Amino acid sequence: MGLSLVAATAIVGIAVLVSIELIVGTTIPTLTDFHDSYDDMKDRSIEKVQTDITITNVAWSDPNMVITVNNTGTETINTSYCNILFDGSSKTFTCSVFNIYPEKTALFNVQERANPGDIIKIITPNGVSDYYTV
């Protein structure tokens, strides 16, 4: 009886250890990944709050419409992933700089003339935008 109890306890004990290993082995990586994603989301939210741009001027300089954009936030803006809309339609553009650092200005060139009254919208990579009526 004593030996039976010892054997059964040993088997159940091993099963408990294996189960703990299974739980720990899957839970810890899941929690780590979740934590990383949560951190990324938090960083994106903070960046969005700290991002701001102002279109200070729009002028025609043949053959480009030159849009002057000032980074009025505290985040650096990658101009490659900005978007420009002329009266709602997306336009391709070139920019004078790759990054707009805080308090710095960049010139966006669009090879299309906007008409008086047209609304220009510039969107930063994280979705923050500014409007300008020509």
Partner 1 sequence: MGFSLTGTQVIFFVASVIIASAVSGVFIVVINDVSNSLSERGERVQDQLDYEFAIINDPNNIPSEGSNYLFYLKNIGGKKISTTNSTFTIFIDGELVAVANYNFSDNSINPDEVTTMYIVTSEIDAGDSTLRVVGPRDIDDEFTFTI
Rounded distance, CA 25 to CA 28, Å? Answer: 6
Give the x-and-dash track for 17-46 against partner 1 (CB under 8 A).
Answer: -xx--xx-xxx-xxx-xx--xx-xx--x--
Give the x-and-dash track for 61-90 against partner 1 (CB under 8 A).
Answer: -----------------x--x-x-x-xxxx
Does 59 engage in binding with partner 1 (CB under 8 A)? Answer: no
Residue 78 CB, nearest approach to partner 1 (Å): 8
Ordered DSSP codes for 40-55: HHHHHHHHHHH--EEE
3-state secondary structure (DSSP) of residue 39? helix
- Residue whose entry in the numeric block shows the structure tokens 């099963």: 15
Q: Which two tokens stand for residue 81?
A: 């992933």
Nearest to residue 68, comparing CAs of 77, 81, 59? 59
> In the complex, which residues of this chain contact partner 1 (CB under 8 A)?
1, 3-5, 7-9, 11-12, 14-16, 18-19, 22-23, 25-27, 29-31, 33-34, 37-38, 40-41, 44, 48, 78, 81, 83, 85, 87-90, 119, 121, 123, 125-127, 129, 131
